[in-house]
Amino acid sequence: MVGMKEVAKRAGVSVSTVSNVLNNKKNVGPETRERVLKVCRELNYQPNAAGRLLKSGRSDTILFNFSDFDRSFYLKIINGVYDYLKDNGYDLIICTDKSCEKYMTGKLTSGSIILDRKMKTETLVRIAGEHYPIVVLDRIIDNPYIKSVVVNNYEPMYELVQGLVDRGYRRFGFVGGPEDTADNQERFKAFSDCLTANGIGFQQKFYFAGNYREKSGATAAKILMLSNELPDCLVCANDNMAIGAIKTFMQNGIRVPEDIAVTGFDDCDLAEAMGLTTVSIPNYERGYLAARYLIENIRGQRNVEPFKISANIKWRETVLDKRAGR
Amino acid sequence: MVGMKEVAKRAGVSVSTVSNVLNNKKNVGPETRERVLKVCRELNYQPNAAGRLLKSGRSDTILFNFSDFDRSFYLKIINGVYDYLKDNGYDLIICTDKSCEKYMTGKLTSGSIILDRKMKTETLVRIAGEHYPIVVLDRIIDNPYIKSVVVNNYEPMYELVQGLVDRGYRRFGFVGGPEDTADNQERFKAFSDCLTANGIGFQQKFYFAGNYREKSGATAAKILMLSNELPDCLVCANDNMAIGAIKTFMQNGIRVPEDIAVTGFDDCDLAEAMGLTTVSIPNYERGYLAARYLIENIRGQRNVEPFKISANIKWRETVLDKRAGR
DNA sequence: TTGTAAGCGTTATCAA
DNA sequence: TTGATAACGCTTACAA
């Protein structure tokens, strides 16, 4: 409500002097500075961000974007992002929409970290530039101003499946995520490659395309139960779907892991609580890293080589070890 | 990067005409409108929010503020807020800091929903006004421009404790949250009142002041185990602490609920998965409601009567029914 | 050390 | 139906 003009009038100086005081310029007398600050306090003056941004084009604010409210581990990513930014003097705003495009301009924010799949790659490519670097999570974009931070899906999934084979499992089912996402493709490829390498066949009827939500795991389980033979292990492309499947099995008297083993991917809070065998993604750390890379790029340290974060397996109770002697 | 000026030049019209087209004014010829829109598409024109805000002072954007990344159910609140806002033509930005004060001005956002306890009441009172309504969650502020949306803590906690007494529990422990928060005070008062009403004494040595985090529940459990007598039921002021306590008990060979019953408050995802008896707070709904009240206040429908959301009890496996015949 | 004035990108008013 | 122009609140040369 109250602007610099009013402050200037009350302090008996010009607006530029007020501006200079507020921006800690040295070209202002100590006595004048005091007087101006006093008036600011009295009037409860709050600078109007719009005016400032419009003129200066500097913001020291980073935009984070996500949209899936079902994934509670997103909070951990945000936590990592926030901690790094805070330590480095940047503010964070979060947007859950494509309305965030509005803020993705050097005038309002200095860069973005994008998690939402709904933000189209072509849009990001258009927005990113010399003065507006972007970090994307969970997808790879080849662009001089966009850095990709992705989880290494292939190796841990391969290792997980190999572990399942080693533990005696032979008949596998797979519940996938959206088929157009790179991480889902990698997870399935690792799954499939590992079975092939072990000379184990995979029946297409045991493949289900889900959407990473709990409900689609439940649906997959229901469909599986319709057939008169279950696989002995259901590998899911993420935890939510694994949990949906487990709940459905249990509600229908099918025991996990005795009747069917189930594995996930993510290691969300629930996974630990339910004893789900899964691949653990270090979420806080990848948020932190994403923020670090973004700031480094903003500061001119150009580096857009895709970064792969490693993940590791948590063997828990939803899988049995069926090897002899155990 | 590309502004109205450039669009105007390319379309062979003036900036005001461009503005009129973009704001759907009727005073522009259909043919001109088409031409302008075409150029906008070609140049990928994005309006500069700062410029618009500066001039119009209208933003149709709401600010949401939180800071505790451990509480995964916050995502549900945000989900509710987002859904309501979206349906009503408002955008949402989220801030996890007191840096959000920067955005809390009618020029940048139209109102705020505040969840973070770190935002001081006096600050909110200063910011709120005729043209900037605020909704606060989980605290009550008496101010003509601030609406409070709080959970009804007392009744369900009283009912929970009465249920525990009915089930045969007599020796209670209590793990509280921060003692200066209203909701913790209410939860403890309900607990305490109910015991008194049932003629059951409460030993101060079974009271622990926590901070709503899992770790403080674990600490309380550890301290309890040092004494040579456990209460037979540990009532916790939220789920996180209850979960911390349960994990600690189990790691130390104390069985829940056989050796000690445990209850929580919140009904977070984990609570359901772990079978924790708790009070279920409808988080999505309270986010939705908070957003609704805010928009109503923005639209001039003044209503700052504090609103209490009711919660209900989920009896699950961390409590036994010790009544005869069960 | 301080003030004047131009300009940031937009919208609104008013004249053409 | 269109276009000049002023104004929004601020920063920043540059002049005093």
Residue pLDDT, tens place only, B89-130: 899 999 998 878 878 877 778 899 999 999 999 989 988 888
Reading the block at residue A317, the tokens are 């109770």
Looking at residue B324, its pLDDT comes to 66
Asked whether the predicted pLDDT for residue B315 surpasses 80, the reply is yes
In this complex, how many residue pairs, one in chain A and one in chain B, have their CB atoms less than 8 Å apart? Answer: 113
Q: Do A108 and B273 touch (CB under 8 A)?
A: no
Asked whether the predicted pLDDT for residue B57 surpasses 80, the reply is no
CATH of A154-281, one of 1.20.140.150, 3.40.50.2300, 3.40.50.300, 3.40.50.2000: 3.40.50.2300
Architecture of domain B57-151+282-309: 3-Layer(aba) Sandwich (3.40)
A266, β-bridge pairs: A280
Domain A4-47 homologous superfamily, CATH: lambda repressor-like DNA-binding domains (1.10.260.40)
Q: Do B94 and A96 touch (CB under 8 A)?
A: yes
Note whether A57-151+282-309 and A154-281 share their fold. Answer: yes
A325's CB contacts (< 8 A; 6+ apart) are none
Q: Do B74 and A79 touch (CB under 8 A)?
A: no
Reading the block at residue B255, the tokens are 């069985």
- All residues of chain A having their beta carbon less than 8 Å from the beta carbon of residue B107 are 48-50
Please state whether the peptide bond connecting residue B178 to the residue before it is cis, i.e. omega within 30 degrees of 0: no
Residue pLDDT, tens place only, B233-246: 999 999 999 999 99
Residue B89 (CA) to nucleotide D1 (C1'), in angstroms, measures 30
Instruction: Specify the DSSP class assigned to residue A265.
Output: S
Q: Which nucleotides of D are covered by protein (CB under 7 A)?
A: 1-5, 7-13
Q: Do B269 and A274 touch (CB under 8 A)?
A: no
A260's CB contacts (< 8 A; 6+ apart) are A230, A231, A232, A233, A234, A249, A254
Nucleotide nearest to B15 (CA to C1'): D3
Q: Which residues touch strand C (CB under 7 A)?
A: A 12-17, 20, 26-29, 31-33, 51, 54-55, 107; B 3-5, 15-16, 19, 22-23, 47-48, 50-52, 54-56
Residue B31 (CA) to nucleotide D2 (C1'), in angstroms, measures 13
Q: In chain A, which residue's Cα lies nearest the Cα of B71?
A: A75
What type of residue is A160?
Answer: L
Residue pLDDT, tens place only, B181-215: 888 999 999 999 999 999 999 999 999 999 999 99
Q: Which nucleotides of C are covered by protein (CB under 7 A)?
A: 1-5, 7-13
Which alpha helices (H) appear in B92-138, and where do they start and end?
121-127
Asked whether the predicted pLDDT for residue B1 surpasses 70, the reply is no
A176's CB contacts (< 8 A; 6+ apart) are A184, A187, A188, A207, A208, A209, A210, A237
Nucleotide nearest to A4 (CA to C1'): D9
Of the candidates A51, A92, A273, which has its C-beta nearest B97's C-beta?
Answer: A92
SS (H, E, C) A6-72: HHHHHHCCCHHHHHHHHCCCCCCCHHHHHHHHHHHHHHCCCCCHHHHHHHHCCCCEEEEECCCCCCC
The answer to whether the beta carbon of residue A9 comes closer than 7 angstroms to any atom of strand D is no
Contact A265, A212 (CB under 8 A): no
Residue ranges per domain, chain A?
4-47, 57-151+282-309, 154-281
A261's CB contacts (< 8 A; 6+ apart) are A164, A169, A232, A233, A234, A277, A318, A319, A320
Taking chain A (326 residues) in runs of 10, the rounded mean pLDDT of each run is: 83 90 85 88 78 71 91 93 94 88 80 94 88 92 96 96 97 96 94 98 94 95 91 96 96 94 94 93 96 94 94 96 72
Residue A20 (CA) to nucleotide D10 (C1'), in angstroms, measures 11
Residue B68 (CA) to nucleotide D9 (C1'), in angstroms, measures 34
Contact B280, B311 (CB under 8 A): yes
Reading the block at residue B61, the tokens are 């954007």
Distance from CA of B69 to the nearest CA of A (A): 6
CA distances to A109, A182, B39, B128 from B3, in Å: 17, 35, 12, 34
